[in-house]
Amino acid sequence: MQQTFQINTDNLNANFIQSVRAWFGHREVKITVEDVEPEKRPSQREIFLKMEKHREKLSHIKVDPKINLSDLANEMLDTPI
C-alpha cells in the first residue's frame, strides 16, 4: 500500500503521525521527505493565449444560437453515469 501526503512543514504535528497510523495500522512503513516546488500559476495572458489556440482549433464548429447551453449542462449533471 502506498499513500502520498503533501503537507507544509508548519503543519507537521502529532495529528499527522496519527493519520499515518490510521492509514497503515501496526505495519512497518518507509517515510521519504521530498521538497516540493510551488505550483506556478499561469498569468492571465498565458490563459488567454491558450484559450485563443483552442478557439482557432475549434473555429469550424458551429453551435445553434437557439440552444441553451446552461440547460444542456444542467441536463448532463442530472444524468446518472
> What's residue 29's pLDDT?
92
Threshold 0.75, pTM exceeds: no
CA distances from 34 to 8, 12, 29, 46, 59 (A): 11, 14, 16, 29, 44
Q: What are the pLDDT digits (tens) for 46-56? A: 999 999 999 99
> What's residue 70's pLDDT?
92
